[in-house]
């Protein structure tokens, strides 16, 4: 929570639902980044990969 600028006391005062939402938003962003980095291999690239 330090990256959000909150102290431990402030974190304890926050409703847990809000904290979970913040953490889930960050997780969604990481997942979207990973998905955008993946490449679909088709055609001749598959042949090169499997040696046919």
Asked whether 31 and 23 are in contact (CB, 8 A), the reply is no
What is the number of structural domains in the chain? Answer: 1
Per residue in 10-34, pLDDT (tens digit) is: 877 777 777 778 777 877 776 666 6
Asked whether 19 and 11 are in contact (CB, 8 A), the reply is yes
> What φ, ψ does residue 27 adopt, rounded to 5°?
-65, -40
For the entire predicted model, the pTM comes to 0.29
Which domain range does residue 41 map to? 2-50
Per residue in 28-52, pLDDT (tens digit) is: 776 666 666 677 888 888 888 888 6
Query: How does DSSP classify residue 49?
Result: H
pLDDT of residue 34: 66
> What φ, ψ does residue 28 adopt, rounded to 5°?
-65, -40
């Amino acid at each position: 929570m330090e990256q959000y600028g909150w102290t431990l006391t402030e974190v304890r005062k926050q409703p847990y639902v809000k904290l979970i939402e913040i953490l889930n938003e960050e997780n969604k962003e990481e997942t979207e980044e990973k998905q955008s980095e993946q490449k679909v291999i088709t055609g001749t690239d598959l042949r090169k990969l499997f040696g046919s």
